[in-house]
Copies of this chain bind each other. A is one copy, B any other.
């Protein structure tokens, strides 16, 4: 009983523990590189260096640079999702508006804390890289799922008229397969479309600030952000 035995299937044993530890550090260091240099500056050699390993050693953990990037993207999505869920949780069963603003503020805060990560998730696609959707989607839809839930709660009894002159058919087209696939449960196409637009506006408003769409030193970006998010709120919750 000197060496820890794999009793039952628990991942004990020196090798397994070390591997898990290296995997943890790999993500940690990778995220640091992402934060400092952006996705374009992420390199196998650089990460290996900061890990104190030879470059080739990384290939024991990752099939290549793209694989590493995918891991980090999922890590980003999960961090954002966890933070936003907690923020909305924290305001409790408040009215939809309060919950919406909690969500929005939390998204913004994360983006400002992690501008490069934000750019990776919601900015220009990384050239010559395609994220595998089956890996990326579950983590990537946590925030939007929550957003849609908030809209749905609010819409339960006082959902406003659609913004475009009531085109159910159009909304259905806009959003089609998602509904067919049972995505977002029992939302109507119009509700789903309004949620997607609210998300589009929120992402646009955050990106406008993070990417400095209006340059620097031109008034208060947060006040502009609030204005746009108030617009998105009306879209999501009905006017």
Which A residues are within 8 Å of any B CB, using their own CB?
37-38, 40-41, 119-120, 122-125, 127, 133, 137, 163-164, 170-171, 173-178, 193-194, 196-197, 199-201, 203-205, 207-208, 211-215, 217-221, 223-224, 226-228, 230-231, 234-235
A163-B230, A230-B164 given; A218·B178 CB < 8 A: yes
Question: Which one of A125, A164, A173 has the highest number of Cβ atoms from chain B below 10 Å of its Cβ?
Answer: A125
Q: How far is the CA of A77 from the CA of B124 in the complex (A)?
A: 17
How many of these chains are in the complex? 2
Out of B37, B133, B170, B224, which one reaches A196, CB within 8 Å?
A: B224
B215, A133: Cβ atoms closer than 8 Å? yes
Out of B133, B201, B205, B219, which one reaches A231, CB within 8 Å?
A: B201
Q: Which residue of B lies closest to A144 (CB)?
A: B214
Q: Which residue of B lies closest to A212 (CB)?
A: B125
| Known contacts A193-B227, A204-B208, then 12 further A-B pairs from the complex at CB < 8 Å, ordered by chain A residue | A124-B124, A133-B215, A164-B226, A171-B223, A173-B219, A174-B224, A176-B218, A193-B223, A194-B227, A196-B214, A199-B213, A200-B208
Out of B197, B204, B219, B220, which one reaches A224, CB within 8 Å?
A: B197
Report 25 cross-chain contacts, Cβ distance below 8 Å, ordered by A residue.
A38-B124, A122-B211, A164-B226, A171-B223, A171-B227, A173-B219, A174-B223, A175-B219, A177-B219, A178-B218, A193-B224, A193-B227, A194-B227, A197-B224, A200-B208, A200-B213, A201-B201, A201-B231, A203-B204, A203-B207, A204-B204, A204-B207, A204-B208, A231-B231, A231-B235
